[in-house]
Amino acid sequence: MREFAFARAATVDDAVAAPDGAMFLAGGTTLVDLMKLGVLRPRVVMDINALPLREITLDEAGLTVGAGARMSDLATHPDAVRAFPLVVQALLAGASQQIRNMASIGGNLMQRTRCGYYRDPGSACNRRDPGGGCAALDGANRTHAVLGTSPSCVATHPGDLAVALTALDATVRIAGRGGERDLPLAAFYRVPGGTPHIENALGPGELITAVHVPFADGHSAYVKVRDRASYEFALASAAVLLRVREGVIAAARVAVGGVATVPWRLPAVEAALTGLPATPGGFDGAAARAAEGARALAHNGYKIPLLRNTVLRAVEEALAR
Ligand code: FAD
Ligand code: SF4
């Protein structure tokens, strides 16, 4: 591991004044892992755990979650359990209880891809080493993305919570040296294009301070399909929220994970679901639209039918609740 300086931020202003090249330390469950592997090599590690960013509050606009709140804090918070079951379901589908106790909401949104080549400094990887090439294109790409890919990078965004928050139109509050700004989560993540090393909209020194989830009523479900039933990342996941009026789907929100380079909203599926009777069956045509624009690599073609089926199952599970 490369030598680094360690500092503790007492205030948000301290944190955002960290020198360029510094990285924030929250739960450390991604950062420390990747530093040990030599993938992330910050000059300064800035501990943000003393910042007053752990509050979870509910008001008439929705739920606001401090970026330092732990995944388990949010998953068990009475307001989240009562009013945001989609968020809770996605959180509990991720990692393990021990990791959820350590891992923060801000760190969760900032977690890195699980592409094996990214995590191996001996392999070519444009995301870790811009211009270095992409070993996954002709390599072991069974778990890689079919949506949002580019010739530079085909890695998936691995998170669960971000998929639910994308469906719920959440925003992130970001503090920087020039003040604060709010950004829809949908605009936070960047598809790789020709610059896969630029993963999100954060500028130098910027810190996520909170996530806001607006109220949205309806039937919801988060479905996650993976190689084993727990402690595993998604091969495909779907977050669905359906508003039903007089037996008809009046509005639909659908986002998917495990199949795309960023949490991926599916407006074509949402439009196709809207107006359908809210009774079991009859959703295959709408779910089929999930794979529009998908492109398979040598070993991940199975993800295209899996994506459709995961969306279908999430729609049916949501309506059954
Ligand atoms: P840290 O490791 O402290 O930080 C991670 C990154 O975020 C760093 O770059 C750090 O600088 C940055 N950062 C942290 N806080 C902020 C902030 N407030 N503003 C800006 N940048 C910030 N996740 C899932 O979603 N689903 C899973 O199934 C899943 N399984 C896992 C299994 C294992 C074995 C492990 C190790 C992790 C798994 N995870 C999973 C990922 C886990 O959820 C993340 O590691 C965790 O949420 C990161 O949070 P943290 O507080 O530990 O972040
Ligand atoms: Fe790196 Fe992306 Fe290629 Fe994986 S898919 S090796 S993260 S460039």
Testing ligand 1's pocket by substitution, the residue of 8, 20, 23, 30 carrying the most ligand atoms inside 8 A of its CB is: 30
Burial environment of residue 286 by CB neighbours within 10 A (0 to 12, 13 to 18, 19 or more): buried
In order of their start, the domains of the chain are: 219-320 (3.30.390.50)
Q: Check residue 101 and give its pLDDT.
A: 98
- CA of 156 relative to ligand 2 center, distance in Å: 9
- CA of 54 relative to ligand 2 center, distance in Å: 33
Q: Check residue 63 and give its pLDDT.
A: 98
Q: Check residue 179 and give its pLDDT.
A: 96
The pLDDT of 275-292, averaged and rounded, is 97
Compute the chain's Rg from CA coordinates: 19
Q: Check residue 2 and give its pLDDT.
A: 84
pLDDT digits (tens, 9 = 90+) for 58-114: 999 999 999 999 999 999 999 999 999 999 999 999 999 999 999 999 999 999 999
Q: Check residue 248 and give its pLDDT.
A: 98
Confidence of residue 20 (pLDDT cuts 50, 70, 90): confident
Are 158 and 75 in contact, with CB atoms under 8 Å apart?
Answer: no
pLDDT digits (tens, 9 = 90+) for 167-195: 999 999 999 999 999 999 999 999 999 99
Separation between Cα atoms, residue 47 and residue 173, nearest integer Å:
19
DSSP letter, residue 301: T
Q: What is the DSSP string of 28-87?
A: -TTHHHHHHTTS---SEEEE-TTSS---EEEETTEEEEETTSBHHHHHT-HHHHHH-HHH
- CA angle (137, 141, 146) in 5-degree steps: 85
Ligand 1 binding site (Cβ under 6 Å of any ligand atom): 23-31, 33, 67, 94-95, 99, 102-104, 106-108, 110-111, 159-161, 207-208, 233
Q: Check residue 192 and give its pLDDT.
A: 98
Q: Check residue 146 and give its pLDDT.
A: 98
Residue whose token pair is 């529009």: 292
- CA of 232 relative to ligand 1 center, distance in Å: 14
**Protein residue closest via CA to atom 38 of ligand 1:** 95
- CA of 155 relative to ligand 2 center, distance in Å: 5
Q: Which atom of ligand 2 is nearest to the CA of 132?
A: 8
Residue 277 confidence (pLDDT) above 80: yes
